[in-house]
Amino acid sequence: MVAVITFVLLPRKRNLMNYPRVQRISAQLRYISPALFLAVLTQFIALRVLDMSNTRAFDMALFWLTLCIGTLVLVRGTETILLHTRAIQNHLTRKIAIIGTGDVADQLADRIDNDAGHTYQLLGRFNDAPKSSRNSKITGTINDLVALSRRHSIHAVIIALAPGSTQDEHEINHLAWRLRTVLSDIYIAPYLLHGVDTNLPVENLGPHSLFVLQRRPLSELQTIQKSAFDFVFGLIVLAFLWPLLLAVAIAIKLDSKGPVFFRQPRIGFNNRPFTVFKFRSMYTEMSDLGAAKQTSRDDPRVTRIGKWLRKLSIDELPQIFNVLTGSMSLVGPRPHAPHTTAGGILLHDALAEYVIRHHVKPGITGWAQINGSRGELITVDDLKRRVALDLEYIQKWSLRFDIKIMALTVVREVFSRNAF
C-alpha cells in the first residue's frame, strides 16, 4: 500500500499527446525507478517508526524490492515484446491529420514522421489553398479530409494554419464547423486563438502545446465497454425472444405477400451507410426504401399485422441482428434514412448539430424515444427537440444510463400511444 500510494503521489508529466517511450527499456527505468526506490525508503522508515530493528527493516524492504523488480521485469518485458509485434503496433498506431502549411505544420509533420516510430502515423496534410512549390506536400483539401474520415479512423486532427495567413476568427470558426462531422479529437495551435478561447484544455505533442477544440464523445475504453455490453446483452435478448420472432415471422407471411424482413438503408456511425433490419409492417408494393414519405398515423400502407407490430414496437426487434454485427447499438440515437426530411428539408441541412449524432452508433432505442420524441418529423422544431435529447444522451453516456433507458423503453415505449 505504501508503494502504490507513493507511486501515485509522485509528480509525473502527463502529456497525453506526447510520444510514449514504453518500448524503450531506458525510458521505463527512468519512469519507474524514482517511485520504486522512494517507496522502499518510505517502507524502511515506516518499519523503523514501528520499532523494528535496522537489520529486520532493511531485509523486509530489500525482499519487497527484489520481488517487485522481478514481477515488473516479467510483466513489462512481456508487454514490451508484444508491443514490438506488427499486428499490435498497427492496432495501437494513432493516425493524425494536419491542416495547414507553414513552419509549425512542417515541424509537427516532421516530428510525427521521424520521432514517433509506430506510435503515430501521419495520414497527410490538408489545406484548401492551391498547390504550389511551397506546399507541394499537401495531400488534399478539407473536403478530402472529411471524405477520408468516412473510410478510415482518424484519432486526431491538428489545425496549424500558417501564422498571419488565415487567422480571421470567422474563418477559424467556419473551419471548425466544417470539421464537426469528423469523428476525431481536434486540436488547434494556440496562436490561432484569442481571448476566451484560450481557456480551452491543453495537451502536448512533443514540445508543441495544442488547444483541444473537440473531443470524441466516447473514449476507446468506453467504446469497448459499450460494444461488449451490446454483444453480450444482445445474445441474451435473442436467446429469450427467438420464439416471439418466429411467431411474428409466421404471422407476417400469413397476413400479406412479401418478405418477412424490411431492409432499408440508413446513416449510421461516422456517417457511414448501413442496412437496417425490421419486420415488414407495410404492403410490399407500397414500401418506401428511401423514406421520402415518413410513416404517419393511420397510414394506408401499413398492414393489419403491421399496425400491431408498430404499436408495440415489435417491428424494431430484428435490429438485434444489426447490434450483433456491430452496425448498431442497443441504445443510441435512432438512425434515419438518407432522404428523410423535416419541414421539407433534409435533416443534415435543416440543423447543423444533427450530424453530431453520428459520433456514436445508432440504437434500437434511445433517450429521445423514451422522452416522447419519436415518430414522424413534421417540422424543424421536432428535429431540434430530438437532436437536443440525442446530444444530451451522448454527453451523459454510461453503461448505467444505457440500462436505465432500456428499462424505461419497456415501460414507456412498448405501450406508447405515440407509436404508429
Could you give the number of structural domains in the chain?
3
CA-CA distance, 334 to 376, in Å (whole number)?
12
With H, G, I as helix, E, B as strand and everything else as coil, classify residue 10.
coil
The predicted-structure confidence for 302-322, as pLDDT tens digits, reads as follows 888 888 888 888 888 999 999
Task: From 244, 248, 242, 274, select the one nearest 261 (Cα to Cα).
Answer: 248
Task: From 287, 295, 304, select the one nearest 251 (Cα to Cα).
Answer: 304
Residues 194 and 235 in one domain: no
Residues 198 and 319 in one domain: no
pLDDT value for 274: 93
Beta strands in 141-285 (DSSP E): 156-159, 185-188, 202-205, 208-214, 261-267, 273-279
Residues 255 and 119 in one domain: no
CA-CA distance, 408 to 370, in Å (whole number)?
7
Pairing mode of beta strands 138-140, 120-126:
parallel
pLDDT value for 228: 93
The residues that bridge with 211 in the sheet, in sequence order, are 188, 202
Q: Residue 159: how many CA atoms within 13 Å on its side-chain side?
A: 26
Pairing mode of beta strands 363-365, 345-346:
unpaired
CA-CA distance, 187 to 178, in Å (whole number)?
14
Query: What is the CB neighbour count within 10 angstroms for residue 41?
Result: 12
Residues 233 and 134 in one domain: no
Residues 252 and 378 in one domain: yes
CA-CA distance, 197 to 170, in Å (whole number)?
13
Cβ(39)–Cβ(7) below 8 Å: yes
Cell numbers for 235: 445474445
pLDDT above 70: residue 116: no
Residues 312 and 379 in one domain: yes
Cα–Cα–Cα angle for 274, 275, 278, nearest 5°? 140
Residues 226 and 118 in one domain: no
- Where is the domain boundary, 187, 214, 241? 214
Query: What is the CB neighbour count within 10 angstroms for residue 403?
Result: 14
Which amino acid does the sequence have at 263? R
Confidence of residue 17 (pLDDT cuts 50, 70, 90): very low
Residues 351 and 250 in one domain: yes
Judge whether 184 lies within some domain. Answer: yes
Task: From 215, 211, 19, select the one nearest 113 (Cα to Cα).
Answer: 19
The residues that bridge with 278 in the sheet, in sequence order, are 262
Cβ(2)–Cβ(8) below 8 Å: no
Residues 16 and 109 in one domain: no
The predicted-structure confidence for 378-402, as pLDDT tens digits, reads as follows 888 889 999 999 999 998 999 999 9
Judge whether 419 lies within some domain. Answer: no
Judge whether 281 lies within some domain. Answer: yes
Residues 271 and 361 in one domain: yes
Residues 392 and 249 in one domain: yes
* Span 390-419, average pLDDT: 82
Judge whether 418 lies within some domain. Answer: no
The predicted-structure confidence for 26-57, as pLDDT tens digits, reads as follows 777 877 888 888 888 888 888 888 888 999 99
- Domain carrying residue 329: 220-413
pLDDT above 60: residue 419: no
The pTM assigned to this predicted structure is: 0.71
Judge whether 277 lies within some domain. Answer: yes
Dihedral (CA of 344, 348, 353, 358) sign: positive
Residues 6+ apart with CB under 8 A from 100: 125, 127, 159, 160, 161, 162, 166, 189
Q: Exposed, middle or buried, 105 (CB in 10 Å: 0-12/13-18/19+)?
A: buried
Burial code (b: 16+ CB inside 10 Å, e: under 16) for 64-95 equals: bbeeeeeeeeeeeeeeeeeeeeeeeeeeeebb
Which amino acid does the sequence have at 205? L
* Span 164-182, average pLDDT: 77
Cβ(342)–Cβ(383) below 8 Å: yes
Cβ(2)–Cβ(9) below 8 Å: no
- Where is the domain boundary, 23, 52, 86? 86
Residues 187 and 243 in one domain: no
Judge whether 110 lies within some domain. Answer: yes
Pairing mode of beta strands 185-188, 341-342:
unpaired
Average pLDDT, the chain: 82
CA 237 to chain centre: 24
Which amino acid does the sequence have at 354? Y
- Where is the domain boundary, 214, 239, 268? 214
Pairing mode of beta strands 329-331, 363-365:
parallel
Judge whether 420 lies within some domain. Answer: no
What CATH code is carried by the domain that includes residue 156?
3.40.50.720
CA-CA distance, 62 to 191, in Å (whole number)?
52
pLDDT value for 226: 94
The predicted-structure confidence for 341-364, as pLDDT tens digits, reads as follows 888 888 888 888 888 889 999 999
Dihedral (CA of 364, 368, 373, 376) sign: negative
CA-CA distance, 245 to 256, in Å (whole number)?
17
